[in-house]
Amino acid sequence: MAYAQYCLICDGTACNSSQSERIYEQIMKYVYDHDLEKTCQVVKTGCFGFCEQGPIVKVLPDEAFYVQVKPEDAADIVREHLLKGRPVSRLIYREKDTDSLGAVDKISFYRKQVRIVLRNCGFIDPESIDEYIAREGYQGLEKALFEMSGEEVLVEVEKSGLRGRGGGGFPTGRKWRFTKEMEADQKYVVCNADEGDPGAYMDRSMLEGDPHSIIEAMAICGYTVGASRGYVYVRAEYPLAVRRLEKALQDAREYGLLGDNILGSDFSFDIEIRLGAGAFVCGEETALLMSIEGMRGMPVQRPPYPAVKGLWGKPTVINNVETFGNIPVIVTRGGDWFAGIGTETSKGTKVFALTGNVNNSGLIEVPMGTTLRDIVFNIGGGIPGGKQFKAVQSGGPSGGMIPAEHMDTPIDYESLAALGSIMGSGGLIVMDEDDSMVDVAKFYLGFTVEESCGKCIPCRLGGRQIEKILEKFANGEGTPEDLQKIEEIGQTMITGSLCGLGKTAPNPVLSSIKYFRHEYEAAFRKDVAETA
Amino acid sequence: MAKMTLEELRKLRQTAQKTIRTRESAENDIHLTIGMGTSGIAAGAKDTLATLMSELEKHPELNVAVRQTGGLGLEHAEPTLEVRVPGMPVIIYGKVAPDVAQKIVQQHLINKELVDEHIYDRPASDIVDSGSAQ
């Protein structure tokens, strides 16, 4: 059935929590009242990204972008726009300081974005496998199975230069090759969807908005490395993502895109979901694998890496959701195409969850090499209330603060590391002049202290000690020796901790001391401050 | 649906692509705009639209975006339909009953010939600027 009009309603978690479900019902009601159901298709989609302005309703082909829609606006949208073709101007998004009704591609929030991973998010109905298939869906899998050998797929992934999007930035192709070259009776593919950074929701939005792309990618990975089973480890706190993924798995099985002899080939692959209980450490790959095995999620020493000895001791590829999201496109369009986007060392795009004190918070995807300034001021629309920008925290509790003077740094793995932060999974929290860096550092450290599994000493004790010292600064009782102590303990944690959690936990504190030392000095005890 | 073979997947993708393509407006090259003001609806624009859509469905090779707009100012000639085909003049058809819509698809969109007896030209430019979706 072809439709003349489409009414896309964002049904990601953010819009869903501000009544998008009810908006959908109301719009449907009026659509039926006016007999429009044959010519206008109403679709619940995944996240549009522009969460600040949600709930969002988009009408195509007119490209009308309605923001902050309420259920009671449904009547106008249907009667005026869908029926009579007159856009409801009071609901259309307007750029700040201008009065023009912007078409979607003219909105600053979208203009600088390049959507590869989020290509289907906010465009298709995530619960419809047919819509995914319509957008080149499962074409990558088809190409891999019938036109390419596993080795050829791997070469494309290597050529693409894709690196892990979960934080570490390890080259994906190399990871796959390790597993591929292992001899084993069973290998596994695991998708890490245990997203836990405060303010980060990239993985959730992808699973909610385009679950099939993850399924397709995992099957391609299985074919490439010789694995027949996959697991998606996802937090139980993401009920909508889990539900849509379950539906997608079921549909894929019914279509024969998962299961035995996929599409009549001799390749068999299936995926199971494992729910995590929300422990942050389970996002660490070895802890995650233990949790899948049914044990308490605790990191173990690497090497051996999971690629060699992973789930139940078998070679296992473990990649983050966003990493997988790139795979179908890389296979369909080729590694060279992908490598043409981004910087020298970091290819492709990166999805960020832009939050904090910024006008347009939301989910964005930009080419690697985009500057922080572009992200915060052009896409993000700057700081609300005319306040001064102070810093961006990237990489969540494992990352660091990046101050204003480094705003023009093109973002990639190396440049962020050089600034004392990390790419991380892609949380970007914007802070303005009123935010105390000591408080922010204390917040993040408090988070990692809480989430430390307690297995290794540097992380278990180090974090606790730094937190205690930060307490002193919060009460204006700090001393110069305290600062030195923080740095010493921090270095010990970085070098001595068992896993990434402890190794990166001091980053927010250390980077805030590096760039905002004066704020710590302002919190020195009175007598010390005078002598200093 | 039972398990698919490669051919079935390809076929499904082709059909599904046609359905979703109208959503990707930028890629459409033919634009139809139907006047759906109150008078247009009263004159039967909804039936015309329904016929138009089912007719277009029979011709998936055409890359068409169909928009709805308010009254074009040609109330005496409702239902109205504006047709933009690359390389042809922009035409506004009037009194487009369902059978005329069928004819327009066949003759104008496919054979690239104007349906002379229903051309109502374009109204004055000030009305086009404020009334048309373009």
In this complex, the residue of B6, B16, B33 whose CB is nearest that of residue A133 is B16
Q: What confidence score (pLDDT) does residue A103 get?
A: 59
**Percent of chain A, pLDDT > 70?**
98
Least confident of A244-248, A508-512, B78-82: B78-82
CA of A184 vs chain B CAs: smallest distance (Å): 29
**Chain A residue with minimum CA distance to B51:** A39
Q: Residue B18: list chain A partners with CB under 8 A.
A: 2
Question: Does residue B39 fall inside a structural domain?
Answer: yes
Which residue among A2, A85, A137 sits closest to B57, beta carbon to beta carbon?
A2
Question: Highest mean pLDDT: which of A85-94, A99-108, A217-226, B59-68?
Answer: A217-226
pLDDT digits over A373-396, tens only? 999 999 999 999 999 999 999 988
Which domain covers residue B88, as residue numbers?
28-126
pLDDT of A1 reads 53
Q: How far is A245 from chain B (nearest CA, A)?
A: 19
Q: What is the pLDDT of residue B18?
A: 76
Find out whether A55 and A18 touch, Cβ atoms under 8 Å.
Answer: yes
- In this prediction, residue B130 has a pLDDT band, given cuts at 50, 70 and 90, of very low
If one compares A425 and A97, the residue with the highest pLDDT of the two is: A425
What pLDDT does B134 receive?
37
How far is the C-alpha of A33 from the C-alpha of A84, rounded, in Å?
14
Q: Is residue B113 part of a domain?
A: yes
Least confident window among A94-98, A113-117, A247-251, A443-447: A94-98
Confidence at residue A101, expressed as pLDDT on a 0 to 100 scale: 54
Task: Note whether B65 and B32 are within 8 A (CB).
Answer: yes
Contact residues on chain B for A265, CB-CB shorter than 8 A: 6
Residue A98, Cα to own-chain centre: how many angstroms?
31
Instruction: Kindly state whether residue B6 falls inside one of the protein's structural domains.
Output: no
Could you say which residues from 210 to 269 on chain A have a Cβ atom under 8 Å away from some Cβ of chain B?
Answer: 254-257, 259, 263-265
Contact state of A264 with B6 under an 8 Å Cβ cutoff: yes
Q: In this structure, is residue B62 part of a structural domain?
A: yes
Q: What is the pLDDT of residues A494-505, one digit of tens each?
A: 999 999 999 999
Inter-chain CB proximity A85 and B66 less than 8 Å? no
| pLDDT at residue B133, as a whole number | 38
| Whole-number pLDDT of residue B26 | 55
Is there a domain that residue B13 lies in?
no
CA angle, A442 then A444 then A450, to 5°: 100
Top pLDDT among A4 and A323 is at A323
Looking at residue B87, its pLDDT comes to 79
Residues A229-241 have a mean pLDDT of 95
Please provide the average confidence, as pLDDT, over all residues in chain A.
Answer: 93
Instruction: Pick the residue from chain A with its C-alpha nearest to B27.
Output: A61
Kindly report, residue by residue over A438-475, the tens digit of the pLDDT: 999 999 999 999 999 999 999 999 999 999 999 999 99
Q: How many degrees, rounded to 5, is the angle at CA A231 between CA A228 and CA A235?
A: 175
Q: Is the pLDDT of residue A141 over 80?
A: yes
pLDDT score at A148:
97
Judged against a pLDDT cut of 80, whether residue B74 lies above it is answered with no
Any domain includes B120: yes
pLDDT digits (tens, 9 = 90+) for A254-271: 999 999 999 999 999 999
Residues of B with Cβ-Cβ distance to A86 under 8 angstroms: 69-70
pLDDT category, B71, cuts 50, 70, 90? confident
Q: Is A38–B50 a contact, with Cβ atoms under 8 angstroms apart?
A: yes
Closest-approach residue (CA) in chain B for A137:
B13
How confident is the model over B82-108, as a mean pLDDT? Answer: 90
CB distance A461 to A431 below 8 Å? no
Q: Within 10 Å of residue B55's Cβ, how many Cβ atoms? A: 19
Q: What is the pLDDT of residue B131?
A: 39
The string of DSSP codes covering A439-464 is HHHHHHHHHHHHH--S-SHHHHHHHH
Structural domains in chain A plus CATH codes: 5-111 (3.40.30.10), 138-339 (3.40.50.11540), 349-432 (3.10.20.600), 437-526 (1.20.1440.230)
ipTM for this prediction: 0.83
Which among B20, B33, B34 has CB closest to A135?
B20
Residue contact A255–B9, C-beta within 8 A: yes
- Name residues 123-152 of chain A within 8 A of B (Cβ): 123-124, 130-131, 133-139, 142, 146
CA atoms within 13 A of residue A313's CA, in its CB half-sphere = 1
Average pLDDT of span B17-22: 74
pLDDT: is A339 or B38 the higher one?
A: A339
User: Within an 8 Å CB–CB cutoff, is residue A84 touching chain B?
Assistant: yes
Output the CA torsion sign for A327, A330, A336, A342: negative
What digits encode the pLDDT tens for the residues A182-199? 999 999 999 999 998 888
Q: Tell me how many domains chain B contains.
A: 1
pLDDT, greater one: A300 or B59 = A300
Task: Report CB contact under 8 Å: A84, B36.
Answer: yes
Whether residue A97 has pLDDT greater than 60 = no
Which CATH number characterizes residue B50's domain? 3.40.30.10
Are the Cβ atoms of A1 and B19 closer than 8 angstroms?
yes
Instruction: Tell me whether residue B2 is in a domain.
Output: no
pLDDT for B123 beyond 50: no
List chain B residues with CB under 8 Å of A3.
Answer: 19, 22, 53
pTM of the model: 0.88
B65 part of a folded domain: yes
Q: Name the residue of chain B whose CA is nearest to A263's CA.
A: B5
| A254 contact residues in B (CB cutoff 8 A) | 1-3
Residue type, A375: I
How would residue A102 be classed by pLDDT, with cut points 50, 70 and 90? low
Q: To the nearest whole percent, how much of chain A has pLDDT over 90?
A: 82
